[in-house]
C-alpha cells in the first residue's frame, strides 16, 4: 500500500532487539545459504512500516534482506499475508521477472514472526531521486521501456501456475473505494463525481493476469547504468486486469512533481507502452483510463482511511498529514475528468 507510516524504533517489541534477531537468523544460516551457511554480521533495520520491517544482514560475504511482520502484529487488511507474498515473489522471480531471489520462508518455530529472506540487491529505490537526480538522466527513457517489458512479462505468466490468490475485479475496486470514502458520512463531492464517472464507464472485465498491484516509482530498484533491477513490494498482488499496473505507474502522486514525465516522473508513456507491446502485452486504452481514475480515487480513499485510523487512536502526526492529502487525489481526479485550459 502507498506510503506506510514509519514506526519509531522505540516501539519495537522487547523480543525484537537486534541481538535477538541476529541470534535467530544465525540458527537459520544453513537454511538460508545451504551451500555453506555463515556467520551473521551487519544486521541493521532498513525501514519499518507500521506493520512490517525490512532488515539487511550478511552471511559471511553474501548479503540478504529479511522482510517480516514482528510476532503478534497484524497485517493491513488489503495486503497479502507475508507467506503468500513470498510465494508470489518466488513465482515471479523464477518466471524471469526482475526481482530478488527467495532464499527462506520463516516458519512459526523460527521465532521471527511472519516473513521471508531474499537476496540483497544494490540499487536506488527512492522515487524522488530516480525522478530528479542527474546520475539517472541517461537511463530514464530506457527505464520506462524496461518497466513496460517487465510488467508485460509478469502479465503473461500463466495464471493457472500462479499461487492461489484473490481475484479482484474492477467492480470490486470500485465498491471498496465507495465504501471507503462514504463510511464516515462526511460529504466528498469530488469523490462522488469520480464514482459517477467510474460507474458509467466500467469496462467489461477481461481475463485476469497476475498483477503486481502497487507498481510505481518507489517500488522499483534502479541502477544508473543498467536501469531496472527489480520490482519490489509484492504485498498488493492479485489476479486482476493487467491494465491496473500500467495505469498505476503513471499516477500523478508518484511523479514527484514531474508532471510532464507521466511514467513515475522519469519516462514517457510511449516508451512504457512500446516496452509492454514488444514483450507481448496488449494495451486497452479504455481500461487504462478507467484504472487511472480508479487508482487516483483509491489513493484518496487511503487518505480518508488514514483519518479513520487517526481518530481510532493511531494518532501520529503522520497519520493526520496523510489524511490531508485527500485533496491531492481530488484535484487529480478533476484534472483527469474535467481538464481545464
Q: Which residues bind other proteins (CB under 8 A)?
A: 6, 8-10, 186-190, 192-193, 195-196, 252, 255, 257-259, 307, 310, 315-318, 320-321, 323-328, 330-332, 334-335, 338, 340-341
CB of 253 to other proteins, least distance (A): 9
CB of 231 to other proteins, least distance (A): 25
Residue 289 Cα to chain centre, angstroms:
20
| β-strands 114-119, 209-211 pairing | unpaired
Cα(182)–Cα(330) distance, integer angstroms: 15
Q: What phi and psi values does residue 17 have, to the nearest 5 degrees?
A: -65, 155
Q: How far is CA 233 from CA 67, 79, 82, 214, 308, in A?
A: 10, 10, 10, 7, 25
- Torsion, Cα of 25, 26, 29, 30 (10° steps): -130
CB of 293 to other proteins, least distance (A): 14
Helix ranges (DSSP H) in the chain:
18-27, 29-32, 82-94, 127-132, 140-156, 170-182, 189-200, 243-248, 269-278, 285-311, 317-323, 326-337
Are 68 and 20 in contact, with CB atoms under 8 Å apart? Answer: no
Cα(121)–Cα(93) distance, integer angstroms: 13
Please say which residue, 6 or 30, places its beta carbon nearer to other proteins. 6
Please say which residue, 255 or 269, places its beta carbon nearer to other proteins. 255
Half-sphere exposure of 269 (CA within 13 A, CB side): 15
CB of 215 to other proteins, least distance (A): 20
Cα(131)–Cα(212) distance, integer angstroms: 21
Please say which residue, 154 or 329, places its beta carbon nearer to other proteins. 329
Please say which residue, 223 or 318, places its beta carbon nearer to other proteins. 318
Please say which residue, 17 or 282, places its beta carbon nearer to other proteins. 17
CB of 252 to other proteins, least distance (A): 6
CB of 255 to other proteins, least distance (A): 7
Q: How far is CA 105 from CA 89, 132, 193, 227, 296, in A?
A: 11, 36, 45, 29, 34
Please say which residue, 117 or 249, places its beta carbon nearer to other proteins. 249
Please say which residue, 278 or 331, places its beta carbon nearer to other proteins. 331
CB of 48 to other proteins, least distance (A): 10
Amino acid at each position: 500500500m502507498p506510503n506506510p507510516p514509519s514506526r519509531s524504533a522505540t516501539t519495537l517489541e522487547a523480543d525484537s532487539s537486534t541481538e535477538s534477531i541476529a541470534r535467530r537468523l544465525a540458527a537459520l544460516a544453513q537454511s538460508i545459504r545451504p551451500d555453506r551457511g555463515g556467520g551473521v554480521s551487519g544486521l541493521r533495520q532498513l525501514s519499518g512500516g507500521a506493520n512490517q520491517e525490512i532488515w539487511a544482514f550478511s552471511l559471511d560475504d553474501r548479503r540478504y534482506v529479511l522482510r517480516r511482520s514482528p510476532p503478534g502484529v497484524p497485517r493491513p487488511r488489503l495486503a497479502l499475508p507475508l507467506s503468500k507474498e513470498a510465494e508470489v515473489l518466488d513465482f515471479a522471480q523464477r518466471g524471469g521477472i526482475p526481482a530478488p531471489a527467495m532464499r527462506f520462508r520463516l516458519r512459526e518455530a523460527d521465532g521471527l514472526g511472519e516473513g521471508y529472506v531474499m537476496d540483497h540487491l544494490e540499487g536506488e529505490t527512492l522515487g524522488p531521486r530516480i525522478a530528479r537526480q542527474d546520475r539517472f538522466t541517461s537511463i530514464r527513457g530506457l527505464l520506462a521501456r524496461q518497466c513496460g517489458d517487465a510488467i508485460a512479462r509478469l502479465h503473461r505468466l500463466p495464471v493457472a501456475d500462479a499461487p492461489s490468490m484473490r481475484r479482484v475485479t474492477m467492480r470490486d475496486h470500485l465498491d471498496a473505494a465507495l465504501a471507503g470514502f462514504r463510511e464516515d458520512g462526511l460529504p466528498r463531492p469530488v469523490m462522488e463525481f469520480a464514482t459517477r464517472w467510474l460507474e458509467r464507464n466500467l469496462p467489461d472485465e477481461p481475463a485476469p493476469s497476475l498483477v503486481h498491484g502497487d507498481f510505481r516509482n518507489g517500488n522499483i530498484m534502479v541502477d544508473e547504468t543498467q536501469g531496472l533491477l527489480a520490482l519490489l513490494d509484492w504485498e498488493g498482488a492479485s489476479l486482476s486486469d493487467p491494465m491496473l499496473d500500467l495505469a498505476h505507474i503513471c499516477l500523478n502522486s508518484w511523479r514527484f512533481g514531474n508532471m510532464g514525465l507521466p511514467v513515475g516522473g522519469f519516462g514517457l508513456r510511449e516508451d512504457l507502452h512500446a516496452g509492454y507491446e514488444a514483450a507481448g502485452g496488449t494495451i486497452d486504452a479504455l481500461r487504462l483510463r478507467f484504472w487511472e481514475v480508479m487508482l487516483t480515487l483509491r489513493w484518496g480513499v487511503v487518505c480518508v482511511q488514514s483519518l479513520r485510523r487517526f481518530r481510532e487512536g493511531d494518532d501520529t502526526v503522520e497519520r493526520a498529514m496523510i489524511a490531508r492529502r485527500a485533496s491531492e487525489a481530488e484535484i487529480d481526479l478533476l484534472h483527469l475528468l474535467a481538464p481545464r485550459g
